[in-house]
Amino acid sequence: MTSEAEKILIVDDDRDFVEALSAFLEAHNYVVLKAHDGREGLKVAKMQRPDLIIMDIIMNERTEGFFTVQEIRRTVELKTVPIFILSSLYSKVTDFGIPPNSSWLAHDEFLPKPVNMPDLLEKVQRRMEEHHRNPETPVGRKAET
């Protein structure tokens, strides 16, 4: 871990889930930023420049997460920030075969809800290490080691 605590932004309209995930990540020495809808998430991301974003797909509007991810990827200072999608729609979306580098949903990881916390933590730690080694790695591709 770097000398400065790494920041993770959670964007999800389920406040209980956000609090539980925040507590878990904070217990592992991450600084957690929270947003409860896509608009707020984009605003926080632009202001705070998180090291990783955890995004729900369906929030107040059915497509809110999709459009928020697209807007993050269009924002120059955020385009290389890793995005993890956590959604109860995991099986439905992964059945469509959407690749991580797709402009429609440019993500780095897609995980199901309910989330397996140890698995999520392992993926977060691995992605943070990769991102710090090569911060310009394109979305959906791991850095060469």
pLDDT in tens, 76-93: 999 889 999 998 875 544
Higher pLDDT, 17 or 102: 17
- DSSP designation for 78: G
| Angle at the Cα of 94 from the Cα atoms of 92 and 96, rounded to 5 degrees | 80
- Determine the pLDDT at residue 66: 86
Gap between the Cα atoms of 31 and 25, Å rounded: 8
Question: What sign for the dihedral angle of Cα 48, 25, 74, 70?
Answer: negative
Percent of the chain at pLDDT exceeding 90: 55
Categorise residue 82: left if φ over 0, alpha if ψ from -120 to 50, beta otherwise.
Answer: beta
Q: How confident is the model at residue 44 (pLDDT cuts 50, 70, 90)?
A: very high
Residue that is written with structure tokens 């993890």 in the block: 84
Which helix (H) or strand (E) segment holds residue 48: the answer is helix 38-48
